[in-house]
Amino acid sequence: MVHVRLRRLLLFPLAALLGAAVVVLPALAVSEPKMIEAVAPGCDSYWPTYPCWTPLNVTISSGGVVKFVDSGSLEQEVKWTAGPATPTCENVPSTKQKGPWEGSCTFTQPGTYNFQGADFYVTGHITVTSSGTSPTGTTGTTGTTGTTGTTRTTTQPGGSSTTPSGSGSPAPSGGPAGGSGPLGSVFVGSASSAVKLAASQHGPSVHGSVAVSQAGSGGRLEVQLLAARASLASAGHPARVQVGRVVRAVQAGMATFTVHLDAKARHALRARGHLALRVKIVLTPAHGSPATVTRSVTLRG
């Protein structure tokens, strides 16, 4: 009887210890930082020797940590180009540093932080959500669909234009970067602020990004490059010719894109030293009408 009682006394602390371990281990797993690694060849096929960071899109909660790792002999860097604040980083170089090295950055303010590495044509995005919200987010319900309103085109500053969606579908509010835009809520904020596209770029491809709201999550992003027929020295119609196109699925957050010129447009760029393009960006939500933004971009060789 004494042996049985003694055995029970010894097993009770052991069971309590194992129970605590079960509670602590998931907590440790949740707090593990997201990792972004340096890879080569890079993200851009036209500059394959440049290393790039992958993944380029990461979502964490406020107070979360992102680890940057260059485990090889690549020369990488991290330069913050936009964001609500500068993250607190340790051992993360802002100028090219040969690996191996690793460092980490802590993000306390919600918002979208943009960064670039050695390949400055490629931009990465870290989306920080408020504490207590899901980092991945959930798609809201669109509600009952009404009739689509009359489509109208609005001219934006700088000569660009936007075609908003119809007004029949009640749009969900909110987005990963806070707020929803007037264009059927598929953009975060207005189109002029949601679409980031430099008017002058170098090389045979166009780079940009679109801030997609929660209503546009799960939709489709299409980017077309259109050049004047005369600039390509080609005969026939139409007046503008498609010289590049990319289509991809998008989720809520910052969606980046790179569109390469076709062979004829690359030849024209080399011959002339520059090429004027019309960039047509079409964001089509899973449920609802597409929203279109058109911008002018000049590529220089």
Q: 220 near 244, Cβ under 8 Å?
A: no
What's the token pair of residue 289?
A: 């009408």
What's the token pair of residue 277?
A: 């393009």
Question: How is residue 104 annotated by DSSP?
Answer: E
For 116-167, how does the pLDDT look when each residue is reduced to its tens digit (9 = 90+)?
888 776 788 999 998 755 444 433 333 333 333 333 333 343 444 444 443 3
Is the pTM higher than 0.75? The answer reads no
Give the model's pLDDT for residue 292.
87
Cα angle 57, 60, 63 (rounded to 5 degrees) comes to 140
Phi-psi region of 14 (alpha: psi -120 to 50; beta: other; left: phi over 0): alpha
Name which of 296, 282, 301 is nearest 198 in CA terms: 296
What is the identity of the amino acid at 242? Answer: Q
* Pairwise pLDDT comparison (13 vs 178), residue with the higher score: 13
Give the model's pLDDT for residue 166.
37
**pLDDT category of residue 201 using cuts at 50, 70 and 90:** very high
**pLDDT category of residue 299 using cuts at 50, 70 and 90:** very high
